[in-house]
Amino acid sequence: MRTRPGSNLAAALCGCALLLSAADRPPRSTSHNNDAHYAVVAGAVFRENGFSLPGAKVTLAVKDALKGKKLDAVSDARGEFAFRVAPQAGTYVVSASMKGFEPAEKEASVSGEERIEVTLVLSPESK
């Protein structure tokens, strides 16, 4: 059986187009676990001079909890961090520390599904 010149190329291009169009669609999910609800406490750590501070240890803790769960993160290359928390009303303490700098902390109040921004500025340790 003979095929026309270029028909294999046309079939290959058609197949690629189908794959690309399928890749643009979001995946279908049959589970209902994708409906997770949460709040986000996020922000950045900076030096006193305004430059970001990558590699700072950032901790999120429930305020006034004796033995509450603490979450730890490390600020990324832009000094940014983020924590997912339950969307119930509550107050958290966000603290940042790094060798050579005085630690800093701020409070963040969550009241539902929202994003709370926190900026922490670390000062150099005085000697």
pLDDT reported for residue 72 = 97
pLDDT exceeds cutoff 60 at 29:
no
> Could you give the CA distance from residue 74 to residue 97 in angstroms, rounded to a whole number?
10
Specify if 22 maps to a domain. no
pLDDT reported for residue 106 = 97
> Could you give the CA distance from residue 64 to residue 70 in angstroms, rounded to a whole number?
12
pLDDT exceeds cutoff 90 at 2:
no
Specify if 3 maps to a domain. no
Count of domains in the chain? 1
Specify if 60 maps to a domain. yes
Specify if 101 maps to a domain. yes
Domain that holds residue 115: 38-122
Please report which confidence band the pLDDT of residue 92 belongs to, taking 50, 70 and 90 as the band edges: very high
Specify if 24 maps to a domain. no
pTM: 0.69
pLDDT averaged over the chain? Answer: 81
Domain harbouring 98, CATH code: 2.60.40.1120
**Contacting residues for 44 by C-beta, under 8 A, at least 6 apart:** 52, 75, 78, 79, 80, 81, 119, 120
Smallest CA-to-CA distance from 42 within 64, 63, 65, 71 is with 71
Q: Which residue has the higher pLDDT, 22 or 55?
A: 55
Structure tokens at 12: 């290959």
Specify if 28 maps to a domain. no
pLDDT reported for residue 120 = 98
Specify if 100 maps to a domain. yes
Mean pLDDT value across residues 84-111: 95
pLDDT tens, position by position, 40-88? 999 999 999 999 999 999 999 998 876 778 999 999 999 999 999 999 9
Smallest CA-to-CA distance from 89 within 58, 119, 117, 63 is with 63
Mean pLDDT value across residues 84-109: 95
Between 8-12, 18-22, 36-40, the lowest mean confidence (pLDDT) is in 18-22
Specify if 9 maps to a domain. no
